[in-house]
Structures are given as structure tokens and as C-alpha cells.
Amino acid sequence: MNNKIVCVGRNYVEHVKELNNEIPAEPVYFMKPLSSVSDEILLPGYSPMHYEGEICFLMGDVLKVGFGFDFTLREIQSKLKQKGLPWERAKAFKGAAVFSEFVEFNDINTLGLEVYKNGELVQKADVGLMMYKPEFLFEDIERIFGLNSGDIVMTGTPKGVGVVNGGDEFEGRILEGEKVLVGKKWKVK
């Protein structure tokens, strides 16, 4: 199983603007515990939840890529941010992350993602739109926290985030150029 999940916040300019946040001068990091990982999308029942599709990397002898959702309790996060408090209540709850399988790839610079909600394309971006590219993030995270085989790095979400409702159907895809490398579908419980 994975050792830790390191998440990158505010890594796409349009998403930063979408939430009226400041563009960071350096990467914003937070962690998700292993207990936040689920195989299915579950609504927490006590706060509205937003989806955030992400290009994710599984560290190891061979670097692999997969799709992940970083689920966020946006109302709770907004209150915590206003008070200058940590985000864990809004980002590290049970079921706050789901992943596709992780696969090998050829060119990290051609990777992209697509998110479909009930058949409609709601998020689409690629590595070229990231403020901090994956190689820089790996080096920076290694310097600060260390990176071990089995760790996952979630590289941030592009614009197009929104509310998750019961019964919604989601599909997340990772592309290499125009080719779909890996994808997964979920129906919200």
C-alpha cells in the first residue's frame, strides 16, 4: 500500500481564479492519509462535496501515472481558510480520494486529463497548463518531505470543479497526447 499522498494545491491559474484565490509564489502542499482513500465515491452526509480531477503519479522504480479525484468539502475549506487554519477537515476525510489504476507512460510532457460528469466533459487540461511541472514537484517534495516508493503525488486540479450529487456518474481519464492511457468510471453512492 502507499506510504503517503502528497497533494498540490493551486497549480492551475484558471482554477486559482475560479475560487478567487491568490496565485502562490511557491507550490502549496497538503497531505491525505491512507484512510482517505476509497474504491467508490461516497458522499460524507454532513457537508457538500466538490470533485477535483487530477493527474497523479505513483512513485517507484518505474514512475506510473493514474487519474485521481481529490474530493473537497468546499464550505468547510472556505471557513478554515478564512481563519488561517489547516485544511484537513475539508481534504483528508474518509473517502476524500479515489484513483484509477496506475500505468506506465512515455512522455510526461504530453500527459493530460479529462473528467466527465453524467456524460458531459467538465474538466480538461494537460501538464502544459500547470504552473509547477511534475519534475519540479518531485524534486521539491523530495527535498521537503522525502518521496518513497509507493507514494502518490496528486498534481492539482484545473478549472471546472463542481458539486458531487448522489447518483452522479463520473469518468476520469489520463491521456498521453490524444491517446487514452487509463480511465475509470464511478457512480456516486
User: Domain-by-domain residue ranges, the chain?
Assistant: 5-187
Is 5-187 CATH 3.90.850.10? yes
pLDDT for res 1:
46
Res 81: pLDDT? 85
The predicted structure's pLDDT at residue 16: 58
Produce one character per residue of 91-118: b if its CB has 16 or more CB atoms within 10 Å, e if not: bbbebbbbbbebeebeebeebbbbbbbe
- For residues 153-179, b (16+ Cβ closer than 10 Å) or e, as one string? bbbbbbbbbeebeeebebbbbbbbeee
- The pLDDT value recorded for residue 14 is 78
The pLDDT assigned to 23 comes to: 76
What was the pLDDT predicted at 10?
84
Residue 134's H or E segment, with its range, is: helix 134-144
**Closest by Cα among 116, 113, 142, 146 to 130:** 113
Q: Which amino acid is residue 154, in one-letter code?
A: M
User: What pLDDT does residue 76 have?
Assistant: 95
pLDDT at 31: 95
pLDDT one digit per residue (tens) for the chain, 189 residues? 458 999 998 888 776 576 666 777 899 999 999 999 999 999 999 999 999 999 999 999 999 999 999 999 999 998 998 899 998 999 999 999 999 999 999 999 999 999 999 999 999 999 999 999 999 999 999 999 999 999 999 999 999 999 999 999 999 999 999 999 999 999 998
